[in-house]
Chains A and B, each alone.
Chain A
Amino acid sequence: METETAVAVIKQHLIDPEICIRCNTCEATCPVGAITHDERNYVVRVDICQFCMACIAPCPTGSIDNWRVVPKVHAYAIEDQLTWDELPPELTPEQLAAEGITPQDAALAAATPVLAVRPEAANGEAPFNSSAYGSTVPPWSAAHAYTNLFGPKNPTTAKVAGNFNCTEAGFHNQTHHIVLDFGAIPLPVLEGQSIGIVPPGLDANGRPHVARQYSVASPRNGERPGYNNVSLTVKRVTEDHHGQPVRGVASNYLCDLKVGDKCQVIGPFGQSFLMPNHPKSHIVMICTGTGSAPMRAMTEWRRRLRKSGKFEGGKLMLFFGARTREELPYFGPLQNLPKDFIDINFAFSRTPGQPKRYVQDAMRERSADLGALLADPNAHFFVCGLKSMEEGVVLALRDAAAAAHLDWDGVIGPGLKREGRLHLETY
């Protein structure tokens, strides 16, 4: 995972050779080719695994779900893993300390890739598991999504039609709005779907770079209506989650592209994070940073429908968080949307001189409105942004339901999941 490259300690994904039955399911599932095998073992390449967790649920044995906190420089190479009959023991705090790793660093690393499914607590009380409420089905009125038209083996080519900073922030925090044109190549993409960009060249190990996925920020009929183009919202990665300097391969490649340049694209991906289309449907959008991309796409599609007189009923409600106002993508254009079209709530966590405010804080202030929407089967909730926001956001929804005297555990929570009303896209 690229944001980990500069830190001294990582949580490495490993497969337990004693439990693994070599069924190849993980290797077939991995979207980035991080898993490989020989006659003896199945192993994970530490430099390629992106902690997407796609392999975890399909594994029939549970052997896939093993992790070791190790110094980055001593991560287990696949050549080692291929010789194992059993997993190496966890390094002790003393062993980690001998490598110059403090218990705090180790704890931080251990917590970094949040598990998609958490172990139930030993006492039988399950901790709150926000991801359990996320839908895997689209809203009933969603349009049909095309997926995987182009894969890693047969990418298509797009031409850059536009590329500019859509924030007021300086180089290190800038976010680009990038328009890609596909000419005559069919690539139908719906709001909420993503496409993958394959950076050119080879990685440090001499292998082709793996694709990075980005949600499209444009509506279904094109960034420019009637054109075969899409837009992406790409934050230039210059540091990792811990503030260490690191240069994101794909994001810097994309942000540096010039109009007229070509790039390799795969996709589309995603078949459940899709907007409802029936005229009475309401959309609640909760996002941080570049998680705004699908929200911009949905908002823009609704804006175009409304402009053409085809849509009037459904409400739009947006909760949008960023560190500062300057870093918020699309801040300017958002200000110009009519208040009766979209109900916008901002939250800034790093405004100097003001207390930190997160999206869930903004949601709690609107608890009464959210409660009414939770009770309304026509309302759909979309969450996109950093993984760390997910639990707070779903807890805020649960509390809004409680305040409205709704039964979250028995009715609302499972209903949201079953009916494709709550979609979580966090990374």
Chain B
Amino acid sequence: MSIDYSQKIPNNVNLADDRTLQRALEQWQPNFIQWWDDVGPENSTNSEVYLRTATSVDPQGWAVFDYVKMRDYRWGIFLNAAEANREIHFGDHKGEKAWQDVPGEHRANLRRIIVTQGDTEPASVEQQRHLGLTAPSLYDLRNLFQVNVEEGRHLWAMVYLLQRFFGRDGREEAGALLERTSGDANNPRILGAFNEKTPDWLAFFMFTYFTDRDGKFQLAALAESAFDPLARTTKFMLTEEAHHMFVGESGVSRVLQRTAQVMNELKTDDPKKIRGAGAIDLATIQRYLNFHYSVTIDLFGADQSSNAAIFYSSGLKGRYEEGKRNDDHVLKGQTYKVLEVQNGALVEKEVPMLNALNEVLRDDFIKDSVAGVGRWNKVLEKAGIPTRLVVPHKAFNRRIGALAGIRMSPEGRVVSEAQWKQHEAEWLPSDADRAFVSSLMGRVVEPGKFANWIAPPAMGINKQPVDFEYVRFG
């Protein structure tokens, strides 16, 4: 199968001139389409979706809106504009010229970083594949599909790096990205959170709010990389990642708005009555939040990690907003506080900062997440509802790092196994919660109509009205 590169794969990497890369992509592309057909958005092949396609990286070109069949989406390969004479600005190579190719000694680590990032992209498409069947509106269906195609494009972006810079190993890894499957016991996705189910739309909104925000922080840290093609690729991906967080933040916000409305209409805060009226009670929303938050902060890895130190010192991965920080950007001899449990109580411990860089990134993520939860609370405040959502303690429900397996209440109290069992259903979504939320998930496809459990958005996409026909079914 031959590909008209400038049309089919919008790119700014001179794809048409690179025969080796062309051949690699020619072999990979049919497998990608096969993967999309097999485990991509279910029942979507004939739909025309009002999607945003990037055709270049400048402000005019990167948000082109039109109806597209998702299978024909133009998954492009884009690097942000190069900065002349860019220098490495952290780690042991600080002040040296950024790398345009992969230095041999960092090859294995860089490949591992790119594969791990790349693996999350198709994973989330797989996790979300059934959601289209229960979309609460055409507007939301379109947003889901936009997230899906952009995750697809992010996969292309990582595959480009693998195939362009890592030779045969890279081509094999690119193939393997299409072979692992989310939740598959024999060949799962690399990271835990990407093997969890995204069974309903509340979970989807929480996932895009929290887990895609992990994506934002990982990409932002990679956008600082000494390996310039990786830095430029991830910088452009960040603009798209922002859309995913918008879907999550506005999604949860609209659920809260609807719940608050029902509470005010019925003048009640009784979860049973709220559920009876077809809305999601605040306690259930809090439990979903607890789950997605705790699963997501595990993604940052162990609180002390020699790999994190190596990645930083060798210039592969910086900190969030490395360029905006005022320190020596080398971090040798500096310390950072991490948590551990001693004698049944949480204590802070000072450890070398370089080894604690996962924790540094996790704490940056937490700060960003908390701010958005504050904006959700504004919705409740405005509606006159006294309840507030909170993020659980950093040590709650962890499975990775020094805090893994410790039984902890959301407030940060160490509890016994018996206490945990007693309260688990108050702290994390129970099967009954999930069954209830699932029971609300009916499909709404009339333009401008929304499911009963969610409020309409404040505005449409690309200045289109809210009742615009965002998806046309074939």
A contact set with B: CB distance below 8 Å: 18-19, 21-25, 28-29, 39-40, 53-58, 60-62, 65, 85, 116-120, 122, 134, 136-137, 140, 147-151, 154, 271-272
Contact = CB atoms under 8 A, between A and B. Distances in A.
Given A21-B250, A136-B64, A150-B84, A120 B464 contact: yes
Given A60-B246, A62-B459, A122 B465 contact: yes
B232 to A, nearest CB: 11
A425 B104 CA distance: 45
B193 interface: no
B89 to A, nearest CB: 12
B38 to A, nearest CB: 29
Interface residues of B, number: 37
Given A57-B59, A57-B60, A148-B83, A119 B245 contact: no
Contacts of B62: 57-58
Nearest to A17: B375
Contacts of B461: 62
B81 interface: yes
Interface string B362-376: 000000100110010
B345 interface: no
Contacts, number: 91
Contacts of A65: 463
B298 interface: no
Interface of B: 6, 55-56, 58-64, 81-85, 216, 238-239, 242-243, 245-246, 249-250, 368, 371-372, 375, 378, 458-465
B149 to A, nearest CB: 14
A85 B463 contact: no
Given A136-B58, A151-B83, A25 B463 contact: no
Nearest to A61: B246
Given A21-B372, A148-B83, A271 B458 contact: no
Nearest to A117: B463
A23 B462 contact: no
B458 A18 contact: yes
Given A19-B459, A21-B246, A122-B465, A58 B378 contact: no
A148 B82 contact: yes
A19 B59 contact: no
Contacts of A134: 60
Given A136-B60, A148-B81, A148-B82, A119 B55 contact: no
Given A65-B463, A120-B464, A136-B64, A21 B249 contact: yes
Given A22-B372, A61-B250, A120-B464, A154 B56 contact: no
B291 to A, nearest CB: 21
A272 B465 CA distance: 31
Contacts of B81: 147-148
Contact of B59 (A24, A58, A119): A58
B154 to A, nearest CB: 15
A24 B364 CA distance: 15
A418 B394 CA distance: 50
B246 A23 contact: yes
Contacts of A147: 81
B421 to A, nearest CB: 37
Given A54-B59, A120-B463, A148 B84 contact: yes
Most buried by A among B59, B372, B458: B59
Contacts of A61: 246, 250
A102 to B, nearest CB: 29
B53 to A, nearest CB: 11
A30 to B, nearest CB: 10
Contacts of B371: 22, 39-40
Contact of B56 (A22, A136, A151): A136
B84 A154 contact: yes
Contacts of B6: 140
Nearest to A55: B59
Contacts of B460: 62
B8 to A, nearest CB: 13
Contact of A29 (B55, B59, B368, B459): B59
Contact of B242 (A40, A57, A60, A137): A60
A61 B143 CA distance: 11
B82 A21 contact: no
Given A55-B59, A57-B62, A149 B465 contact: no
B83 A120 contact: no
